[in-house]
């Protein structure tokens, strides 16, 4: 009984964290800049999701599987991991775009001199 309640709270936590990532991904993609984005923050979150996934895998090994609620929680960890990974990929794309704008700005200034 307590195990199921514990898993429900695990699902609530992962869903609440995960609900914000699509907004972050869309904002970052549209912004086309890495300014104001913390790669360290995203990497720490990614490590946390990996730790949660490892926890679920170890529980699967120890117990011969998970409860149906455990599998739901596990799937949300995977979904969130992929969303944060998408955010990280967009960060590096935006960083490259920032660098290209900087180079174009420098070239434009040089041509106007």
49-83 pLDDT, tens digit each: 999 999 999 999 999 999 999 999 999 999 999 99
* Cβ atoms of 27 and 89 closer than 8 Å: no
Distance CA 42, CA 96 (A): 18
Q: Indicate the pLDDT class of residue 3, thresholds 50, 70 and 90.
A: confident
Give the model's pLDDT for residue 105. 85
* Cβ atoms of 53 and 66 closer than 8 Å: no
| Helix ranges, the chain (H) | 2-31, 39-63, 68-112
- pLDDT average, residue stretch 80-93: 97
* Stated pTM of the model: 0.87
Between vectors from CA 83 to CA 39 and to CA 25, what angle results, nearest 5°?
70
- Tell whether the torsion through CA atoms of 39, 22, 14 and 17 is positive or negative: positive
- pLDDT average, residue stretch 17-23: 93
Give the model's pLDDT for residue 63. 93
């Amino acid at each position: 009984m307590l195990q199921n309640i514990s898993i429900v709270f695990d699902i609530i936590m992962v869903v609440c964290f995960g609900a914000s990532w699509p907004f972050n991904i869309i904002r970052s993609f549209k912004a086309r800049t890495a300014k104001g984005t913390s790669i360290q923050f995203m990497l720490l979150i990614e490590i946390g999701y990996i730790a949660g996934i490892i926890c679920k895998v170890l529980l699967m090994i120890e117990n011969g599987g998970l409860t149906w609620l455990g599998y739901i929680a596990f799937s949300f960890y995977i979904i969130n991991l992929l969303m944060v990974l998408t955010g990280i990929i967009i960060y590096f794309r935006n960083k490259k775009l920032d660098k290209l704008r900087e180079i174009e700005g420098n070239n434009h200034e040089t041509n106007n001199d």
